Amino acid sequence: MLFKQKSDSSAQKYVTYCTELNLSTECPKKIYTNLIIKSNTLRKLTIINMDINKLDVSQCTKLQTLICTDNNMNQLITNNELRALDCANNKIIDLNLCLIDPVNPINMFK
pLDDT tens digits, one per residue of 40-99: 888 888 888 887 777 778 778 888 888 877 776 655 555 556 666 666 666 544 544 444
pLDDT at 104 over 70: no
| pLDDT at residue 2, as a whole number | 44
Each residue's pLDDT tens digit, 18-34: 788 887 777 666 777 77
Task: Identify each DSSP E strand in the chain by its residue range.
Answer: 3-5, 11-14, 20-22, 31-39, 44-48, 51-60, 65-69, 75-77, 84-86
Q: Are 37 and 59 in contact (CB under 8 A)?
A: yes
Domain range list for the chain:
3-86
The pLDDT value recorded for residue 14 is: 45
